């Protein structure tokens, strides 16, 4: 089965600090995604990538950067963390051929104090 | 405004009963729909996808799609306590590389 891992699983950060969330997939999928999930908002797309070296803005990219250095790895970077970025973050990978199912990682719970 | 609207927000059905969940997109460019299920404290997992008008059945789960109205519905028959979860609908235009827009979900509780 497709495997997506995330680190750290839990993170407490201070306002104004830098936070990096990492994601690794062993599915050899071209597409990777970062979402955040908040009560009342569902899953919202932050950034996504079609392959190594590419990143695209999703629906709520402000305050976030992304990096895709390789097929397997996709990072989400919060340069100046704010309390409004407290959320659960999910990474996902998908194969665009034949009706893409997205495989989600276990999530990272981020608290910004 | 949420582009993918789901109803109801929450639903309680007795064990063995039928659960019906609804989802409508306000984006006329949407072609494809997915249903994901998320158990409490876990990550979403795809349940079913539907890209053509009509009906698709997999075991106890049936999905309907009406492309003219951009409406999809998920029906779960013989509901089990293990079906208790958050059900998320997602939609995508076919020319957007499967960039999904999710609804806020329907929380289903199956009462044993």
Q: What are the pLDDT digits (tens) for A16-52? A: 999 999 999 998 899 999 999 998 888 999 999 999 9
Cβ neighbours of A35 in B, within 8 Å: 102
Which region among A14-18, B18-22, B30-34 has the lowest average model confidence (pLDDT)? B30-34
Q: What percent of chain B has pLDDT over 70?
A: 95
- Structure confidence at residue B93 as a pLDDT band (50, 70, 90): confident
Q: Which residue has the tokens 């997506």?
A: A4
Average pLDDT in the B59-79 region? Answer: 97
Residue B105's SS3 state is coil
| Helix residue ranges per DSSP H, chain B | none
Q: What percent of chain A has pLDDT over 90?
A: 83
Count H helices, E strands: chain B? Answer: 0, 11
Q: What is the pLDDT of residue A40?
A: 81
Q: What is the average pLDDT value for chain A, to the nearest integer?
A: 93
Tokens of A43: 């899953």
A47 to chain B: closest CA residue: B99
* Residues A44, B102: C-beta atoms closer than 8 Å: yes
The verdict on whether omega for the bond into residue B8 sits within 30 degrees of 0, i.e. cis, is yes
Q: Who contacts B57 (Cβ-Cβ below 8 Å, separation ≥6)? A: B63
Cβ neighbours of B49 in A, within 8 Å: 99, 101
Given a contact cutoff of 8 angstroms between Cβ atoms, the answer to whether A27 and A93 are in contact is yes
What DSSP character marks residue A100? Answer: P
CB-count burial class (<10 Å; 0-12, 13-18, 19+) for A16: exposed
Residue A16's SS3 state is coil
Q: What is the pLDDT of residue B17?
A: 98
Cβ neighbours of B44 in A, within 8 Å: 43, 90, 104
What does the alpha-carbon distance between residue B112 and residue A65 come to, in Å, rounded to a whole number? 45
Q: Is the pLDDT of residue A109 over 80?
A: yes
């Amino acid at each position: 089965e497709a495997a997506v891992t995330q680190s750290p699983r839990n993170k407490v950060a201070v306002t104004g600090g830098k936070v990096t969330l990492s994601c690794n997939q062993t599915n050899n999928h071209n597409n990777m995604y970062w979402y955040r999930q908040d009560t009342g908002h569902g899953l919202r797309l932050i950034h996504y990538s079609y392959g190594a070296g590419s990143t695209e803005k999703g629906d709520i990219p402000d305050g976030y950067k992304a990096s895709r250095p390789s097929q397997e790895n996709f990072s989400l970077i919060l340069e100046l963390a704010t309390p409004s970025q407290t959320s659960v973050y999910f990474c996902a990978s998908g194969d665009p051929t034949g009706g893409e199912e997205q495989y989600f990682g276990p999530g990272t719970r981020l608290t910004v104090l | 405004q949420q582009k993918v609207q789901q109803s109801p927000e929450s639903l309680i059905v007795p064990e063995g009963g039928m659960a019906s969940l609804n989802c409508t997109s306000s984006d006329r460019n949407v072609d494809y729909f997915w249903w994901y299920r998320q158990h409490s404290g876990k990550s979403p997992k795809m349940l079913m996808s539907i890209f053509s008008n009509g009906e698709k059945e997999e075991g106890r789960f049936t999905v309907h799609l009406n492309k003219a109205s951009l409406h999809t519905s998920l029906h779960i028959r013989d509901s089990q306590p293990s079906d208790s979860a958050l059900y998320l609908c997602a939609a995508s235009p076919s020319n957007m590389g499967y960039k999904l827009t999710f609804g806020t979900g329907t929380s289903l509780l199956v009462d044993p």
